[in-house]
Amino acid sequence: MRATRQLIGLALALGLVTYPVTGGDLRDLYFGEALYHAYQGQYFDALQRLDTELAQYHVLDEPQLDTLHYHINEAEFSVGDFELDYRMHQRAGRAIKAVLEGAVDDAVRNEAAFRLARIHFQKGQLDDALQALARIKGTVPEEIKGDLEFLRANVYMATGQPGEAVKLLAQLKSDERLAGFVAYNLGIALLQDGRPQEAIEQLDKAGQLPASDPAGLAIRDKSNLVLGTMLFESGDFDRARQSLDRVHLEGPFSNQALLRAGWAEASAKQYDRALVRWNILVDREPTDAAVQEVILAVPHAYASLNLHGRAALLYGRALEIFSNQIVRVDASIRSVREGQFLNALIREESREDETWVIRLRNLPDAPETYYLMELMASHDFQTALHNYLDLEDLRSRFIAWKTSLDAFDDIIRLRGQNYEPLLPQVDAQFRELDSRIRLQLEQRKHLAERLQAMLTAPRPDYLATAEEQTAGERIARIENQFGNFNDPESLALRRRAAHLRGALTWRLETEYNDRLTAAYVHLNELKAPLDALNQRYDAFVRMRQAATHSYVGYDVQITRLRERLDEALQRVDVLIARQGHMIETVAINQLEARRERLTAQQTEARFGVADSYDRATRAQSDAGGH
């Protein structure tokens, strides 16, 4: 039962795939940029971008006018996804809660509740997951229906309600992507519900489902492996062998399946048939635990067939293999202790694709990572390993940021040196320009007011030309000069002056409307150059402000940031050391456990050699005697 239980443990998480963010056409470039980083696994950058965008969005007066508005729910969901991917479980879900509490329609609220439940489930907060699931009411978006029920069933299984999970899973019509997981989990739920016979039948179905993608194939293989193990444990060797034989020979479970199928045959005393499976396995990677088991099982099978000479030879080979492997494990332990493992892990080029863990072996002085494969595949170790890499990444960022702060200081200093001698002169010129512009604006304003007043109270004299004004003044002078004389000459002059005054007044009065219109036209013509002047004025003010802003007012912020960075750098150094030490310790524990097993196997092989030689010799002498 123990083997079965251990196999089951892995299956729950397998079905929980994180969804790619989907949606309509992209309207917000910065949201698109966050996705661009996330799609490359750069979750820090993705989060930084999206956090900034969301923070800006939430302080807008009219957020509905912002381009992020079209994607706001998707963006809040994505923050949660990115936080989970960046292994920030504590923070994950906060943004989604905000959606849940907001005024949104059923479909959006239910998707938020589903995602929140999924986060809680992944964090192991099962009560919270149940609470979030309980909030789902009304319309559920079609595309999450299957996933939602699958999650619900997983939560039931994790909370010890396998019966409820069985009810859900049995009627869950899922798409091809989930079908294998649903079928497998139903089998496990039945088993947990104390219905082993139904569990066996269900796993038998799960083990024969069509599958095309690697995840589907893996879960099908797993169903067969679990089923085979269960049948083997219940003594049904024939059916055990049948289901183990269905495990894909190239898949991740094939070594275990071959080993167990061989044992199923051997238990039925079909040693020659057991050897068919074991002889496939025995030539595989000698660091694999199943292969190491079979290295001893093969000579045992030959011995059971009374082929003691062959058994002795194979025990001899096993002894050699185990001795070599012990040397390799010792070298690996040494290499981990010397820090080569961590050095290899942080090398950028070693992480380019998914097989990087295996390729670590090719690096000089790196440990035998095959021995660490199973450990490295475990969720906790993966999290620890990625956290270590994240810490290394943060450290490089901190160092780069410190360099940036130094550069900012330089920029600020140089800008200060450049602007400070210039600015007093610029300011003086600006003041002069400013007063001139103000004067012109004042004059224009005055003119405009006068013209406006002249519409209601006509003042033709205001529209006299300079010449007319001079003429008017001269006429007035003449009028004054000769006003009190009554001699004929003076009278003639006064008449002429009155005539001229009349002519001038006539002209001003009759041309008044045309002149007023012309004055308006002229005033409007003044608008364009004045606007241009205003624009230049504004541009100057902006540039003048920009000049000041380019080097004034940063000192406190930079000093504070530098202090925070220094403190963070110290913290990250301590964390890197502790995390690294922990990873090394776990790896060494693993290697030592493997070494212990190898030593035991070496002893068994040594004994096997002696025993088989003994029997071979005896058989030979018996044959000779007869």
Partner 1 sequence: MRFRSLRTTVLFGLVALALMANGKKSIAAAQLAPSPSPSVALSASPTSAQAGQQVTLTWSSTNATSITLEPSVGPVAAQGATTVRPSQSTTYTVTATGPGGSAHASAQVTITPAPSQAAVRKPSQEEISSDQQQMRGLDEQIQEIKSDSLRMAAELSQLEEKLLYPSGTQVAIFVELAKGDTMRLDAVRLQIDGQLVAHYIYSAKELQALRKGGVQRIYVGNVATGEHKLDVLVDGKLEGGADFSRTGQFTFRKEVKPKLVGLTLAGPRSGNTPITLGDW
CB of 249 to partner 1, least distance (A): 18
Task: Tokens for 479, please give them.
Answer: 């009028």
Stretch of residues binding partner 1 (CB under 8 A), selected from 142-150, 195-203, 286-294, 524-532: 286-294
Structure tokens given for 144: 């999450």
Question: Cβ of residue 507: shortest distance to partner 1, in angstroms?
Answer: 48
Which residue among 90, 456, 484, 486 contacts partner 1 (CB under 8 A)? 90
Q: Which of 166, 151, 92 is closest to 117 using CA atoms? A: 151
Looking at beta carbons only, is 519 or 565 nearer to partner 1?
565
Which amino acid is it at 509? E
Q: Which of 133, 247, 266, 475 binds partner 1 (CB under 8 A)?
A: 266
Q: Which is nearer to partner 1, 128 or 511 (CB)?
A: 128
- What's the min distance (Å) between Cβ of 515 and partner 1? 40
Which positions from 532 through 551 interact with partner 1, judged by CB under 8 A? 539, 542-543, 546, 549-550
Distance from C-alpha of 524 to C-alpha of 520, rounded to nearest angstrom: 6
Residues 1-20 contacting partner 1, CB under 8 A? 1-4, 6-7, 20
C-beta closer to partner 1: residue 284 or 444: 284
Contact 614, 301 (CB under 8 A): no
Least distance from partner 1 to the Cβ atom of residue 95, Å: 13
**Quick check: 198 and 224 in contact, CB under 8 A?**
no
Among 14, 16, 19, 33, binds partner 1 (CB under 8 A): 33
Task: Check binding of 621 to partner 1 (CB under 8 A).
Answer: no
- Number of residues located near partner 1, criterion CB under 8 A: 99
Asked if residue 208 lies in contact with residue 246, where contact means CB atoms within 8 angstroms, the answer is yes
Tokens of 263: 């044992």
How would you classify residue 553: left for phi > 0, otherwise alpha for psi between -120 and 50, otherwise beta?
left
Nearest C-alpha neighbor of 298 from the set 311, 309, 316, 288: 311
| Contact string (CB under 8 A) for partner 1, positions 472-511, x = contact | ----------------------------------------
Say whether 511 sits in a helix, a strand or coil.
coil
* Among 150, 184, 263, 322, contact with partner 1 (rule: CB under 8 A): 263
**What minimum distance in Å lies between the beta carbon of 290 and partner 1?**
6
Stretch that binds partner 1, among 30-38, 205-213, 419-427, 523-531 (CB under 8 A): 30-38
Over the window 179 to 218, marking each residue x when it contacts partner 1 by CB under 8 A and - when it does not, the resulting string is ----------------------------------------
Query: DSSP class of residue 552?
Result: S
- Cα gap 299→608, rounded to integer Å: 8
Within residues 377-416, the interface with partner 1 by CB under 8 A covers 380, 383-384, 387, 390-391, 394, 397-398, 401, 404-405, 408, 411-412
Measured CA to CA in angstroms, residue 87 lies from 342, 352, 385, 391, 442 at distances of 20, 20, 11, 12, 65
Stretch that binds partner 1, among 163-171, 477-485, 520-528, 597-605 (CB under 8 A): 597-605
Identify the CA nearest to 215 among candidates 176, 170, 160, 166. Answer: 176
Give the closest residue to 260 by CA, choosing from 287, 223, 297: 297
Cβ contact 1:230 at 8 Å: no
Closest of 283, 287, 281, 292 to residue 254, by C-alpha: 281
Single out the residue of 243, 256, 340, 369 in contact with partner 1 (rule: CB under 8 A).
256
Number of Cβ within 10 Å of residue 380's Cβ equals 9
Question: What is the C-alpha end-to-end distance of the chain, expressed in Å?
Answer: 48
Contact stretch for partner 1 (CB under 8 A) within 57-65, 324-332, 465-473, 574-582: 574-582
Q: What is the dihedral of CA 504, 510, 516, 522, to 10 degrees?
A: -70
Site for partner 1 in 213-242 (CB under 8 A): 229, 232-233, 235
3-state secondary structure of 239: helix
Q: Which residue's CB is nearer to partner 1, number 351 or number 359?
A: 351
Interface of this chain with partner 1, residues 337 to 366, rule: CB under 8 A: none
Residue closer to partner 1 by CB (options 350, 550) is 550
